[in-house]
A and B are shown apart, each in its own frame.
Chain A
Amino acid sequence: MDRIIEIILEFVEPEEEITAESTLKGDCGLTSFDTVCLIDALCNEFGKNVDDIAVRECQTVQDLADIFLD
């Protein structure tokens, strides 16, 4: 989880600390373009190919972790 948060922080500088419960668009402030870049970075980091639709349905950092740390 820490690594996922570190990678998110390569894309945004949110006011509040990011936690597992942080929402991607609201709390983290990720745009659609950020999200595409983030998914690419996470795929490279964790060696996974993920389904676009599954990622689009991710609302929180925990949802991302469920996909990439599975």
Chain B
Amino acid sequence: MTFMSKPKVAHPDLPRNALGLTRRDYEGANSTLCAGCGHDSITAAIIEACWANAVEPHTVVKLSGIGCSSKTTAYFLSGAHGFNSVHGRMPSIATGANAANRTLNYIGVSGDGDTLSIGLGQFCHAIRRNLNMVYIIENNGVYGLTKGQFSASADIGSKAKRGEVNRQPPIDPVQLAITLGASFVARSFSGDKAQLVPLLRAAMRHNGFALIDVISPCVTFNDHEGSTRSYAYAREHSEEAVHADFVPFASEIAVDYADGAAQTVTLHDGSRIVLRKVDADYDPSDPGVALDAIQQRMRRGEVLTGLLHIGQDAEDIHALGATPDTPLNAIAYESLSPGGDALRRVLESFR
């Protein structure tokens, strides 16, 4: 971490987005993570994605649980409200916040311990409810703050810093999310900004639960030889199945996809995701195909990345609950209270 404080002064020539804001306007407090931590690269990617999407910082809500990953919500978008909740319980805070105001942009950052162990139940139920949020897992396979215990995402055979080898099968959040019906499921690598930024941009515009599992090496406890979550391992063993380019609404598709493996998905606001598939047979809209491909690669010790599954929009809690377009927290009291006359009528049935 650095102890220098960053002055909030932007150079006049810094590029500005549609709102006239520079990337500096999307930054947060200084990171207190270890130098070289994968999480800081993800933070940078989130800043880049929010800036590029020209989202107003105060319309974003940042949510997290407990752990190194969960600290990072303080390191981007200082103009957004943040809620660093309790371990593994961020999804319930996000659910409540979203219930109160459906119009804001909810970004949750969690880790593999926070999501797959203590928070596995809430994670699954947030997916089941199709909570409209971006859920980022900063996945490093270890507990950092408590000094290097394996997490539930550690691969069989992965070696801890002190030599212990993990013998228990991992819980894969991507396969889990696809099985539970999530409509936007991606995997990326913190070292691959070119892949991660468009994924984040698309996820933010996706209507419903969008999961991005990001392999994010822990430089202090899990970046050694024998670990399957090291920078070296991730670089060597990741293969992109589907690259997602994000095209905002009203922009032209400028890239030429000559290989014929491109597929366009239009999001509810008119933005598009252009999917470039490495293998023409890979169909990201088919959960069975996605699961099969992920498992095949996993058996070979490889990690498939990209936008692995994009499905149909499902109904979220507001659709199921038929809530008004006006956020519940903005409805005037006068329209919520039935009044004294109504109370008398109600009580008639209790005589």
- Judge: A and B partners, yes or no: no
By a beta-carbon cutoff of 8 Å, the part of chain A in contact with chain B is none
